[in-house]
Amino acid sequence: MIARLNSPSSFLLLLQDCSSYSKKRFAQRVSFCCLLFYCVILTSSFLLIEAWT
């Protein structure tokens, strides 16, 4: 691991790996938040309809 970090090209590869991983994690988090938001809106609208009728 240390030997790999000594050469600049492999260090750049490692950086690219980390950045792509964090992008994936960020996309997963955003989609999860959107799903959660959608569920909350669905539930609240359903409750509103139930309250009105």
Percent of the chain with pLDDT over 90: 40
User: Domain map of the chain by residue range?
Assistant: 2-52
**Per-residue exposure over 1-16, b if at least 16 CB sit within 10 Å of its own CB, e if not:** eeeeeeeeeeeeeeee
Query: Under a CB-based contact definition with an 8 Å cutoff, are residues 42 and 50 in contact?
Result: no
pLDDT at 1 over 50: no
Report the distance separating Cα 48 and Cα 42, nearest Å.
Answer: 10
Amino acid 6: pLDDT: 60
Structure tokens of 21?
Answer: 């991983």
Mean pLDDT of 26-37: 92
Amino acid 29: pLDDT: 92
Flag whether the pTM goes above 0.85. Answer: no
Amino acid 14: pLDDT: 79
> How many other C-beta atoms can be found within 10 angstroms of the C-beta atom of residue 47?
10
